[in-house]
Chains A and B, each alone.
Chain A
Amino acid sequence: EVQLVESGGGLVQPGGSLRLSCAASGFTFSDYYMDWVRQAPGKGLEWLGRVRNKANAYTTEYATSVKGRISISRDDSHNLLFLQMNSLKIDDAAVYYCTRPNNNYYMDIWGKGTTVTVSS
C-alpha cells in the first residue's frame, strides 16, 4: 500500500524551530519529487515547497511566504522526507501534509498530516 506518514508535530514556542519527518512506503521513494503542504485551522491549502529526486540533484523550490525560513530535504536510503522550519510565528500553526507529486507533478498521494501548534 502506498503510504505517507508524517511525524514531529506538536507545540512550538514563537521564534522556535520544528523538524517534521515523513516516512514513505509502498513506492520507489527515490524516483519521486516530494512536497510539503500546510493548512491553517479553517483556512485553505498552502504549498510550502518541493525537493526533487537524485536525478535532478535534489534541488528545491519554496513558497515565497516561507522562503528563507524553511528547508526541505530527504534521505532516500530510509525513504524519509524532512521539513525544517525556523523562526516560527503564530501563523505557522497548521496541519502539515507530506505529499507526492505524480509524474505530471500533481499531488496524488497525501499523508494524514501532523499538527503544529505555535504558542507560548
Chain B
Amino acid sequence: DIQLTQSPSFLSESIGGRVTITCRASQGISTHLGWYQQKPGKAPKLLIYAASTLQAGVPSRFSGSGSGTEFTLTINRLQPEDFTTYYCQQRSSYPVTFGGGTKVEMK
C-alpha cells in the first residue's frame, strides 16, 4: 500500500495569512493526488484533484502543486471558514489511501 504522510499534523495561522501543507507519498504517484477539506461533523469536500486542478466552486485562494512523491496544498488569505482539517488522498494505485490529516487552527 502507498503511505501518505502529511505534515504538519497541526498548524496555527492568523486570518489573512497563508499556510502550506505537505503530503509525501511512499512511492511515486505522478500527479494522482487529491486534497479534501473536512469540517467537524461534516463529510469531506473535494478541493483539488490531479494535484493542482481546483474542483468547481472552490475558491481560488486554494492551490495545489507537486508530482511524484511530494505535494503541497497552499491556502492564501485565510478566511474564518478555512480553519479546519485537510486530507490528501492518492488514486495512483489500489488500495486508495488517505494521509493522516492536518488541522489548521486560528492563531
User: Which label, helix, strand, loop or mixed, suits the secondary structure of the A interface?
Assistant: strand
CA distance A107 to B34 in the complex (A): 9
Among A45, A49, A105, which residue has its beta carbon within 8 angstroms of that of B98? A45
Find chain A residues with CB under 8 A from B44 CB: 37, 45, 97, 107, 110
Contact A102 B49, beta carbon cutoff 8 Å: yes
Counting contact residues on chain A (CB < 8 A from B), the size range is: 20 to 34
Flag whether B1 is at the interface (Cβ < 8 A).
Answer: yes
Question: Does B87 sit at the interface, judged by CB under 8 A?
Answer: yes
Are the CB atoms of A97 and B43 closer together than 8 Å? Answer: yes
A residues within 8 A CB of B45? 110
Are A112 and B43 interface neighbours, CB within 8 A?
Answer: yes
Q: Is B55 an interface residue (CB 8 A)?
A: yes
B46 with A107: CB separation less than 8 A: yes
Q: B3 to chain A: closest CB distance in Å?
A: 12
Whether B94 pairs with A61 at a CB distance below 8 angstroms is yes
Interface size class of B (residues with CB under 8 A): 20 to 34
Tell me whether chain B's interface is mostly helix, strand or loop, or mixed.
Answer: loop
Min Cβ gap B32→A in Å is: 8
User: Inside 8 A of B42's CB, which chain A residues have their CB?
Assistant: 112
Q: Indicate whether B52 reaches chain A with its CB closer than 8 angstroms.
A: no
Q: In the assembled complex, how far is the CB of residue B99 from the closest CB belonging to chain A, in whole angstroms?
A: 7
B59 within 8 A of A: no
Contact with A along B77-106 (1 / 0, CB 8 A): 000000000010101001111111100000
Cβ of B96 and Cβ of A50 under 8 Å apart?
Answer: yes
A119 to chain B, nearest CB (A): 21
Q: Which residues of B contact A111 (CB under 8 A)?
A: 43
A93-120 vs B, CB cutoff 8 Å, 1 = contact: the mask equals 0000100011011111011110000000
Is A32 interfacial (CB-CB < 8 Å)?
A: no
Q: Given A44-B99, A44-B100, are A106 and B43 neighbors across the interface (CB < 8 Å)?
A: no
Q: List 11 A-B contacts (CB under 8 A).
A: A37-B44, A44-B87, A44-B98, A47-B96, A50-B96, A61-B96, A62-B95, A97-B44, A106-B34, A106-B89, A110-B44
